[in-house]
Chain A
Amino acid sequence: MMRWRTAATALCIALAYGSTACRRNAEAGGAAAANAPWFEEIAARAGIQFVHASGHKTKHLLPEIMGGGAALFDMDNDGFLDLYFVQSGSLVDETSGGNRLYHNRGDGTFEDVTEQSGAGVRGYGMGVAAGDFDNDGFTDLYVTNFGHNFLLRNDGHGHFADVTAKAGVASSGWSTSAAFLDYDGDGALDLFVTHYLNWRPSAEVECFSLTGLPDYCSPASYDLPSASTLYHNNGDGTFTDVSARAGILTAVGNGLGVVAGDFDGDGRLDIFVANDRTPNHLWANQGGGRFRESALTMGAALDQDGTAKSGMGVDAVDVDDDGDLDLLVVNLDGESDSFFRNRGGFFGDDTAAAGLRTASRPFTRFGAAFVDFDNDGYLDLYEANGRVGMQSERYATDPYAEPSVLFRGFAGPRFEEVSPRGGTRPRLVATSRAAAFGDIDNDGAIDIVVVNRDSHPYLLHNIVRPRGHWLMLRVIEAHGRDALGAVVTLKVGDRTIRRDVRAAYSYLASNDPRVHVGLGSATTAQNVTVRWPDGSRETFGDIAADRISTLRRGTGKR
């Protein structure tokens, strides 16, 4: 018996990254034990007292069911991710609510530092994007609201200044997810802001659940789609709204999720917007500051079901290791996820082949991301769930609450739901919205923060065992800013893995911008190369596993 085991292990090492059969047996390589929890909910223990408030009283006003947001970002460059929550508040009382900032003490606990920070801005909050817009080495925050937005400049010493007016990025209407990206490669982060509906309280209509009770409406009940906004960073602390010039106003939709990446392989950053009940948008960067809406022709506007689904959360990762970005859009219950596999510049709907059609359909999914939680070398998938309409079958007294789901990833790619459901024991049930992903304790395992409507958030600490080796790369420009939009490639065994430096994905969330790669049984990543947003490349050689490494521009080999 012992001898057989040894032989099996040897075979698995030989086939590293090539065999899912091995993967299941190779516990040392990181495959999690069956039925063991992957996460432990520790928000209260970690000192997080934030409670989301939707402001719902009697009338069902649509924004109440859509928020709030969260960011995991390092506010003081101490190497630990801090936490920012976007509060919804009240649609009738603008003084209510107020966002909260928590500093990571580095010992597993967080301290609420909102009061002295200036980050506790008020508004009917939605989401947040994090990025160092002024290249001073400290990550700033852009908060989206129903109403005007806030740009909060971080001085690196725990203080945030509201520079919205000077920067010219207040926007208006109903902003949802936003992303910092350097679309023109000029070294300054530009800003893309997604808008949901051209809604206002006077546009509200009455809607009812199937059981005849007053409920929130579908966005289709209004037909008030909105255009997104693109702000160009002028490099002097101000931005210019270039939406019209860039072509962004040529299409409207009910925008919720956003992710930027080079989807067509032309070296330029494109922008994908998940729309709710209108076809998705893919803004293909034409160069020269121009974008063309190309989702229909690239096959990502609708999936094989032929309907404009309720696109909410979104992620873009090279899931199949073919070097290009695949897309995930998560949708309403009754609608499956849409897994758009990139076939070299256009997408095919591979949701069924990936095993995500049937498993995703029972829930309404918002925050979502492909992350290798058990570091076995294959991306897993977490989806934070919560309904937008009441149903007679309930999971809790909150009629909108649902369990979230966790899928284990396999080669293929293929996904299977993890038991226990959502990866936690006991099972957690809430009306979940934003999910932000990052390694809060720098142990090489990605944790999750989930914002729950009218409830406490989850801080899901990754406890899955066993875990494989890992690599965490902080990819930064010469002056210290996270190089959002840069692309890292590396070799592990016979696989070439691509990961992008990105903070904006999921839903209303900003995530750990560090590149995380599960290595399974491998202890080194070979030939680590960065393609910077301006197209130049640098190689950083082989990097040892199980540590956080910094790849600073100019320190590698060109």
Chain B
Amino acid sequence: MVLVAGLAAVRTLRSNGPQPPALADLGPLAPEIVDIVRQAREGVAQDPHDAVRWGRFGMVCEANGLAGAARDAYAQAAALQNSDAKWWYHLASVDSRLGRTDDAITDMRRAIDANSTYAPAYWRLGLWLLDQNKTGDAERAFSRATELDPADRAGWIGLARVYLQRDENARAAGLLERLVGAAPAEAYTLQLLATAYRRLGRVDEASAAMQVGAKGEPQWSDPWTDEMLEFRRGYAALLKDATAYVVAGRFPQAIAILEQLRHDRPDDVVLMAHLGQVYVAAGRDADGVSLLEHVIIREPDRFEAHVDLATGYMHVGNMVNARAEAERAVSLNGSYSPAFETLGLVEWRSGNGRAAVAAFDRSVELDPRNARALVWKGMVQTNEGLAADALATFDRAARADPTNVDAWIGIANAQMNRRDLAAARAAVQNAERLQPDRPVVKATADRLKALQEHSQTATAGRRGR
């Protein structure tokens, strides 16, 4: 009897508890997102006094763009279980996204009260305090983050930003130099270092650091945020994942996602073009060519698809079609740099070095950032025995994009051919800083080492004589 009454009471409590919003109140959503939101919502409805269910619902909402609903859900989770820092943390993050910075700071402090060992809570708090120009409070938050997790660079970067914001430029430079020493290719650190150098009057060093630093963006990630992002659903989220895989060179993973998407959307020409491009990039040229041919039948003006198709044809040795497609792309959009770059490659493969150089030049004229076209041009010049021209071209490529490893390798090889081993060494070091494990970098370093040893032996031999 008592048990029955207890169960009834629990049921009553549950039914009287806070309720999640109706799906219809969340606005228009893609079907895949509706599914995951509905599941999370039903979870809450089954037990509205369970903070974890509310938290999960909040994460699902936040990951899929429902920031207002996410905020309400996290607030509910935090109210139900205020000792769990994670809900306060997520609540603070959504507050910040919604522009409620004061609330974000308050909620993040509550997250820290609940769990004083999660370093990202401190550096995120520090960033918001820095936004409010409260540099003293921000410094304390960042310092605590570095104490808790010295390996998490975010806290250190935050400290450097505090120093810069207070115009303590020498102090900032010292810290940033140590960070750059540990990770020489990290762009954002170099950017900040460039700022510090510039303010200290170290103009040349600032310029060098900024040239590399401007090529990358800071990353601010943490496990709790990553956990939330796992709940992203829908076409856009998957496409974003696929793109990330392409950028990382993980083509099989990208292709798996894109093929799945294409299965769901067989008539989507843009998707078809994207998959065709990735097939070609991955070396699956026959698949790529087949798909891209379909694309340009459906949308003949899609100039980027013609460029990708030209590349595919080139890879399978069909130079006639490759040229036709590259020229078609040029005729469709005469100011599209990659079209000329591809035309240059076709010319090069066809043995027309001069025409190739002209096409690469046009490509670079249209997009001066295109260091890749300059590298191709340097290679053509190298093959044609124009060593000095090639060196100048590789040098220009490296200036256009100091993160282009092939440009540094080109410089290194050109300098080795000139027997300027010191200059070659500097170029190899730049390449090693960027991609130490890449085979071509290792091979070039080995070649340089062999030349240096040979040079030393020869020098010793001359002395011996």
List residues of chain A with CB under 8 Å of any chain B CB. 173, 198, 200-213, 224-227, 249-252, 279, 296-297, 299, 301-302, 304-308, 334, 336, 343, 346, 348-349, 352-353, 355, 357-358, 361-363, 391-394
CB closest residue in chain A, given B235? A208
Beyond the given pairs A202-B303, A213-B28, 6 more chain A to chain B contacts, judged by CB atoms under 8 angstroms and listed by A's residue number, are: A203-B303, A212-B29, A212-B64, A249-B365, A251-B368, A346-B198
| Docked-complex contact A392 and B98, CB < 8 angstroms | no
Q: Can you sample 10 A-B contacts with CB below 8 Å? A: A198-B336, A200-B301, A202-B302, A204-B270, A205-B270, A208-B235, A211-B64, A226-B335, A249-B368, A297-B207
Complex contacts, B165 vs chain A, CB 8 Å: 304, 352-353
A392 to B68, CA, bound (A): 8
Minimum C-beta distance from A92 to chain B (A) = 14
Complex contacts, A224 vs chain B, CB 8 Å: 336
Complex contacts, B214 vs chain A, CB 8 Å: 279, 296, 301-302
Q: Give which listed residue, B130, B206, B236, contacts A352 with CB less than 8 A.
A: B130
Minimum C-beta distance from A352 to chain B (A) = 4
CB closest residue in chain B, given A201? B301
| Docked-complex contact A200 and B207, CB < 8 angstroms | no
Q: Give which listed residue, B30, B68, B99, B367, contacts A362 with CB less than 8 A.
A: B99
| Docked-complex contact A304 and B161, CB < 8 angstroms | yes
Asked, given contacts A210-B236, A250-B368, A393-B98, whether A299 binds B195 with beta carbons under 8 Å apart, the answer is: yes
Q: Give which listed residue, B27, B30, B192, B198, contacts A306 with CB less than 8 A.
A: B192
The 8 closest A-B pairs by CB, nearest first: A212-B30, A210-B65, A362-B99, A208-B236, A212-B234, A202-B301, A357-B131, A306-B188
Within 8 A of A (CB), among B346-396: 365-369
Complex contacts, B133 vs chain A, CB 8 Å: 352-353, 355, 357
Minimum C-beta distance from B292 to chain A (A) = 14
Complex contacts, B336 vs chain A, CB 8 Å: 198, 224
| Docked-complex contact A336 and B131, CB < 8 angstroms | yes
Query: What number of B residues sit within 8 Å (CB to CB) of A?
Result: 66
Asked, given contacts A198-B335, A297-B210, A392-B27, whether A358 binds B195 with beta carbons under 8 Å apart, the answer is: no
Minimum C-beta distance from B433 to chain A (A) = 19
A214 to B299, CA, bound (A): 20
CB closest residue in chain A, given B128? A358
The reply to whether the CB of B79 lies closer than 8 angstroms to some CB of chain A is no
Number of A-B contacts (CB under 8 A): 145
A204 to B303, CA, bound (A): 11
The reply to whether the CB of B107 lies closer than 8 angstroms to some CB of chain A is no
Query: Interface residues of B: mostly helix, strand, loop or mixed?
Result: helix
The reply to whether the CB of B203 lies closer than 8 angstroms to some CB of chain A is yes
Asked, given contacts A252-B369, A352-B131, A352-B132, whether A207 binds B218 with beta carbons under 8 Å apart, the answer is: no
The reply to whether the CB of B76 lies closer than 8 angstroms to some CB of chain A is no
Q: Give which listed residue, A211, A250, A279, A353, contacts B29 with CB less than 8 A.
A: A211
Complex contacts, A173 vs chain B, CB 8 Å: 335
CB closest residue in chain A, given B129? A352
Within 8 A of A (CB), among B172-202: 187-188, 191-192, 195, 198-199
CB closest residue in chain B, given A356? B131
Q: Give which listed residue, A205, A212, A357, A362, contacts B98 with CB less than 8 A.
A: A362
CB closest residue in chain A, given B207? A297
A557 to B201, CA, bound (A): 39
Query: Interface residues of A: mostly helix, strand, loop or mixed?
Result: loop
Complex contacts, B268 vs chain A, CB 8 Å: 206
A482 to B371, CA, bound (A): 43
Minimum C-beta distance from B20 to chain A (A) = 15
Complex contacts, B369 vs chain A, CB 8 Å: 225, 251-252
User: Scoring B residues 16 to 27 as 1 if CB is less than 8 Å from chain A, else 0, what string do you get?
Assistant: 000000000011
A301 to B198, CA, bound (A): 14
A205 to B240, CA, bound (A): 13
Complex contacts, A297 vs chain B, CB 8 Å: 198, 203, 206-207, 210
| Docked-complex contact B26 and A299, CB < 8 angstroms | no
Complex contacts, A296 vs chain B, CB 8 Å: 207, 210-211, 214
User: Scoring B residues 262 to 302 as 1 if CB is less than 8 Å from chain A, else 0, what string do you get?
Assistant: 00000010110010000000000000000000000001011
The reply to whether the CB of B67 lies closer than 8 angstroms to some CB of chain A is yes
CB closest residue in chain B, given A200? B333
The reply to whether the CB of B101 lies closer than 8 angstroms to some CB of chain A is yes
Q: Give which listed residue, B33, B97, B131, B332, contacts A211 with CB less than 8 A.
A: B33
| Docked-complex contact A208 and B30, CB < 8 angstroms | yes
Complex contacts, B207 vs chain A, CB 8 Å: 296-297
A302 to B206, CA, bound (A): 14
| Docked-complex contact B199 and A343, CB < 8 angstroms | yes
Minimum C-beta distance from B211 to chain A (A) = 7
Minimum C-beta distance from B244 to chain A (A) = 13
A299 to B26, CA, bound (A): 43
| Docked-complex contact A391 and B131, CB < 8 angstroms | no
A346 to B29, CA, bound (A): 46
Complex contacts, B453 vs chain A, CB 8 Å: none
Complex contacts, B68 vs chain A, CB 8 Å: 392-393
A249 to B67, CA, bound (A): 42
Q: Give which listed residue, A202, A227, A305, contacts B332 with CB less than 8 A.
A: A202
Complex contacts, B187 vs chain A, CB 8 Å: 306
The reply to whether the CB of B75 lies closer than 8 angstroms to some CB of chain A is no
| Docked-complex contact B217 and A306, CB < 8 angstroms | yes
| Docked-complex contact A392 and B99, CB < 8 angstroms | no
Minimum C-beta distance from B3 to chain A (A) = 44
Minimum C-beta distance from B207 to chain A (A) = 5
User: Scoring B residues 327 to 353 as 1 if CB is less than 8 Å from chain A, else 0, what string do you get?
Assistant: 000001101100000000000000000
Asked, given contacts A203-B304, A306-B191, A336-B131, whether A252 binds B98 with beta carbons under 8 Å apart, the answer is: no
The reply to whether the CB of B66 lies closer than 8 angstroms to some CB of chain A is yes
| Docked-complex contact A334 and B64, CB < 8 angstroms | no
Q: Give which listed residue, B191, B198, B333, contacts A302 with CB less than 8 A.
A: B191
A302 to B191, CA, bound (A): 9
A250 to B99, CA, bound (A): 38
The reply to whether the CB of B69 lies closer than 8 angstroms to some CB of chain A is yes
| Docked-complex contact A392 and B26, CB < 8 angstroms | yes
Complex contacts, B31 vs chain A, CB 8 Å: 212
Q: Give which listed residue, B33, B271, B274, contacts A212 with CB less than 8 A.
A: B33
| Docked-complex contact B299 and A202, CB < 8 angstroms | yes
CB closest residue in chain B, given A224? B336
The reply to whether the CB of B91 lies closer than 8 angstroms to some CB of chain A is no
Minimum C-beta distance from B331 to chain A (A) = 12
Minimum C-beta distance from A9 to chain B (A) = 31
Q: Give which listed residue, B27, B97, B130, contacts A334 with CB less than 8 A.
A: B97
Q: Give which listed residue, A206, A352, A392, contacts B270 with CB less than 8 A.
A: A206
A7 to B132, CA, bound (A): 34
CB closest residue in chain B, given A360? B99
| Docked-complex contact B99 and A361, CB < 8 angstroms | yes
Complex contacts, A227 vs chain B, CB 8 Å: 366
Complex contacts, A210 vs chain B, CB 8 Å: 64-65, 236
Q: Give which listed residue, B65, B333, B335, contacts A392 with CB less than 8 A.
A: B65
A308 to B33, CA, bound (A): 30
CB closest residue in chain B, given A215? B236
The reply to whether the CB of B233 lies closer than 8 angstroms to some CB of chain A is yes
Complex contacts, B42 vs chain A, CB 8 Å: none
CB closest residue in chain B, given A211? B65
The reply to whether the CB of B32 lies closer than 8 angstroms to some CB of chain A is yes
Complex contacts, A336 vs chain B, CB 8 Å: 131
Complex contacts, A251 vs chain B, CB 8 Å: 368-369
| Docked-complex contact A207 and B236, CB < 8 angstroms | yes
A288 to B274, CA, bound (A): 46
A234 to B140, CA, bound (A): 60
A352 to B199, CA, bound (A): 18
CB closest residue in chain B, given A293? B368
| Docked-complex contact B367 and A252, CB < 8 angstroms | yes
| Docked-complex contact B191 and A392, CB < 8 angstroms | no
Complex contacts, B274 vs chain A, CB 8 Å: 205
A91 to B31, CA, bound (A): 30
Complex contacts, B66 vs chain A, CB 8 Å: 211, 392
A336 to B302, CA, bound (A): 36
Asked, given contacts A213-B30, A352-B132, A358-B131, whether A304 binds B164 with beta carbons under 8 Å apart, the answer is: yes
Complex contacts, A353 vs chain B, CB 8 Å: 133, 165
